[in-house]
Amino acid sequence: MRAAMDALAPYATKASLSRGRLHREPEAPPRSPFQRDRDRIVHSSAFRKLQYKTQVFVNHEGDFFRTRLTHSLEVAQIARAIARVLRLDEDLTEALALAHDLGHPPFGHAGEEALARAAATWGGFDHNLQSLRVVTRLERRYAAFDGLNLTVETLEGLIKHNGPRHPPHPPEIVSLDLALDLDLSHEPSAEAQVAALADDIAYHAHDLDDGLRAGLFTLEDLAGLPLIGDALAEAEATGAKEPGRLRHEMIRRVIDRFIRDVTETAAARLGSLPSPAAVKAQTGPVITFSPPLAAANEAVRAFLRERMYRHYRINRMTRKAARLIEELFAAFFETPALLPGEWRQSAEEAGGDLRTRAQVVIDYVAGMTDRYAIDEHRRLTDITTLG
């Protein structure tokens, strides 16, 4: 492990200099603190649930479409590849990539938007903040504490997944900040920036793949897109004829081009930075695409928004999903006795504190898988279950 740490770049986050955890624990050699973070995330209940949470298509739509779990694994693979080239801490990068979607509710963005609307009176819903709640409160596996007791560096990276955070902070962040003196107003670490950009790469490359599989658009529709059109032409030049092979040859070239662009662009910016603190002190992120690839990425985003996320088939699914989430929230909030076990106890203990009751319901609904949410809704609404 010593040799691996020595190989890190000056601007990389060093596990040996970690600021520790909220609850003190003995070290567990030969694993570093960031390796332990990654392992705890992988073994968490919330991580396993991602297997049955939607990326774009509802879980039962097909076995080959991405779920939150496959997406998180793909983000981790891309992030680790970039971190290795840039000589960053790969374990911290991977931990952040694997944890970034732990707070997502069922039914993808439709579920998130619906839960935010349903809970608007009580502060709404944000999946990044919910990921923080998962790793600091909702996972209950250890005798000495709630949550996973992750390092300060991992918690900061999760909080700043979308960049620096400024006051006023929500209660979840305020309490952690008071206990750990978090660095929230500066840029994230290089490792956190890599995880965030890898999320973008995985999203767009693999949503193209899923959209093609689902027949929402064709390869011919992609030919005019920057970067994508070039990757398609290169794939066709291989002689691949089968649609599946051609699709894969194109997608893997898209991912490779994005990774190479990020590493080349970031290496030029990072080379003059002497420390992790210098990375955080920059105005804006240092891990970015070059301007041409940033423009290509935005073109892909616009294409997917129009041709996939707003497709009538997706709209039909998301409308049903949104109604289901809103009805689940309303039923459990209005009648906490409908909640099971410990959830019911927590809601009833809140008494007249409606904000706390709402948070209990948010935590319960956000933790559902697609299938469980459908089953719960059916149990609440199906008259044939009476008697």
Q: What is the pLDDT along the chain (387 residues), one digit of tens a residue?
A: 444 555 999 999 999 999 999 999 999 999 999 999 999 999 999 999 999 998 765 554 544 467 899 999 999 999 999 999 999 999 999 999 999 999 999 998 889 999 999 999 999 999 999 999 999 999 999 999 999 999 999 999 999 999 999 999 998 899 999 999 999 999 999 999 999 999 999 999 999 999 999 899 999 999 999 999 999 999 999 999 999 999 999 999 999 999 999 999 999 999 999 999 999 999 999 999 999 999 999 999 999 999 998 899 888 888 999 999 999 999 999 999 999 999 999 999 998 999 999 999 999 999 999 999 999 999 998 855 544
Q: Residues with Cβ < 8 Å from 2, sequence gap 6 or more? A: none
Which string of b and e fits 341-376 if b means at least 16 CB within 10 Å?
eebbebbeebeeeeeebbbbbbbbbbbbbbeebbeb
Among candidate residues 189, 259, 271, the one with its CA nearest the CA of residue 9: 271
- The span from the CA of 95 to the CA of 249, in Å, is 29
The number of helices, as runs of H, and strands, as runs of E, in the chain is: 19, 0
Q: Which regions of 215-257 does DSSP assign to beta strands (E)?
A: none
Q: What's this model's pTM, rounded to 2 decimal places?
A: 0.94
CA distances 322 to 117, 222, 355, Å, are: 10, 30, 22
Neighbouring-strand partners of residue 54: 67
Q: What is the Cα–Cα distance from 187 to 325, expressed in whole angstroms?
A: 34
Q: Which residues pair with 67 in a beta bridge?
A: 54
Are the C-beta atoms of residues 125 and 110 closer than 8 Å to each other? no
**Closest by Cα among 207, 213, 231 to 306:** 207
- Burial category of 137 from C-beta neighbours within 10 Å (exposed 0-12, middle 13-18, buried 19 and up): middle
Please state the domain extents for the chain.
198-313, 317-385
User: What gap in Å lies between CA 15 and CA 46, rounded to an integer?
Assistant: 25
